[in-house]
Structure 1
């Protein structure tokens, strides 16, 4: 009897890799908070340790040979890096004023900023169905924000935190729009350029004198660079080569789900019932934008036969429709999971 094991299908392997990457992303907030460092210090050292890991990885894999960079592509990668490192800083600032759960969900309005920025900067047309999803997302955002009357009176740290999360999402949208124009270059190299740039860029905002007081916080900072900027990126970029856009868009929401679980398990934070109602609105609208979902009206003149049992057939037909409406190379959807 043959004992040879059947090799794992590439798509299955990709799904496992992306799920693992998103689970790691969900622990990001805990690493940031437990480090005890200020947000800009956290991002600075994330860039330092991330540069070391990604540089070593690219060297071992031989990515520096035939790298594909031109002066223009390098400039675009660097410009995208400016927005990506400040996006991290504002996201981490929002953790302090709101919670990891709320900040992460609000941060996942990124796809809508990509759509709006594309319309403003490149005159991309916003179709009726995209406008509808934007309205749905806005309603979800209002519910998730959970702003009370006390927050509106006087200075509110909570409102400031929400603003930081939205600003982080805006900066991520800008980075996505810019970086997607860097074609013919391995994403690992683009990420390396961006974190390398972050070191001198963030140095003026970093208080290096506080480094002596980090103590055990150093372990969390190293983890942010090695795990969340090294291992996580390698897993994500590997999975992108094996998965269709539809699965990438769906699995991306493992990240906020894992973040909310970590926030509850470690810090006891939980969302209210009102906020919980807004989360599926943002998730559904984000998937609708990423996958191009639109209502399909059935012609009135065509008689419809009664539905017959057969859930497997229904699932298969839905999968075919998703594959037809989701472009396989939609890099914006592929990149939005990056933290």
Structure 2
């Protein structure tokens, strides 16, 4: 399987994660815990089978601290992302979540004093306007009413996705697969004491099917396809193929869950997609 096919499959599979999370029948915290657990098993098996450990350099101790900090941001990103699916349509959550590349650009200029170009500023403004339209800000009389729609969860997910990318750029020795394994193990350890185990007792066979697919396929398989193809593709190709993810998510929301965005929301989605065409190229971004 060539790199183009692997990356395209990774994006298409990840695009269906919203639908599967809705069908799983678990709250966000418990679903993220299962995802971390399944991904740890899957990625651990991949490392053992490919014997990657023996081919890696020994990283400095400081790198493990960076991996753990990045892992904390990643787990928070997942928690807020899945929470957004509980309180708003998938189309709205996914569209706002894809503000993350522009947040990376904005945070990079604030934290690292990097120059923000006029094209970058324009993209941020366009994305912000698109997010307001997708979130139907025009239908709420007060800001507090708008925030009560749960839109803050999607913004928080995008924010921590941006922090994950920024923190991850300083990880240079450990392989992406081993890095992600450490991070998913961290997530499983941190979330285990908070899990309400009683929620698992009332699940149907169909729920378990969606849960396990979310854990092993949407996390383990997607990460393996993503990381094994990422370094073989030029940035221009990646910038195009990542659009598969939100397109699949929105199509499934409309076709399966029968969500119907109004005309202004469609304009907002288009604006976000247009602004996504301007992407910061300095940071290696992790899809989650």
Distance 2:282 2:203 in 1: 38
Instruction: Compute the displacement of 1:218 (Å).
Output: 2.0
Distance 1:74 1:224 in 2: 27
Instruction: Identify the residue that residue 177 of structure 1 maps to in structure 2.
Output: 166
Distance 1:76 1:234 in 2: 21
For residues 16-35 of structure 1, what are the structure 2 equivalents within 5 Å?
A: 16-35=5-24
Instruction: Compute the displacement of 1:128 (Å).
Output: 2.0
Q: How many residues align?
A: 286
**Which of the pair has the greater relative contact order for Cα pairs under 8 Å at 6+ separation?**
2
Residues 279 and 219 of structure 1, relative CA distance in 2, 3 Å threshold: same
Work out whether 1:51 is the aligned partner of 2:40. yes
Instruction: Identify the residue that residue 157 of structure 2 maps to in structure 1.
Output: 168
Work out whether 1:228 is the aligned partner of 2:178. no
Residues 190 and 164 of structure 1, relative CA distance in 2, 3 Å threshold: same
Residues 16 and 56 of structure 1, relative CA distance in 2, 3 Å threshold: same
CA RMSD of aligned residues (A): 1.9
For residues 1-339 of structure 1, what are the structure 2 equivalents within 5 Å?
A: 13-68=2-57, 69-150=59-140, 152=142, 159-216=148-205, 217-290=207-280, 330=281, 332=283, 334-336=284-286, 338-339=287-288
Choose 144-153 or 174-183, whichever is displaced more.
Answer: 144-153
Residues 113 and 39 of structure 1, relative CA distance in 2, 3 Å threshold: same
Residues 150 and 283 of structure 1, relative CA distance in 2, 3 Å threshold: closer
> Contact 1:93–1:164 at 8 Å: present in 2 too?
yes
Distance 2:149 2:61 in 1: 38
Q: Give the structure-2-normalised TM-score.
A: 0.93
Cα deviation code 1:32-86 (max 9, x no counterpart): 1111001000000100111000001111111122433321111111111101111
Q: Give the structure-1-normalised TM-score.
A: 0.80
Instruction: Compute the displacement of 1:155 (Å).
Output: 5.4
Instruction: List runs of 5+ in structure 2 lacking aligned partners.
Output: none
Instruction: Compute the displacement of 1:179 (Å).
Output: 0.8
Distance 2:139 2:233 in 1: 45
Distance 1:197 1:154 in 2: 35
Instruction: Compute the displacement of 1:160 (Å).
Output: 4.2
Distance 1:284 1:100 in 2: 19
Cα deviation code 1:263-303 (max 9, x no counterpart): 1122101322111112222122122134xxxxxxxxxxxxx
Residues 132 and 155 of structure 1, relative CA distance in 2, 3 Å threshold: closer
Instruction: Compute the displacement of 1:202 (Å).
Output: 1.4
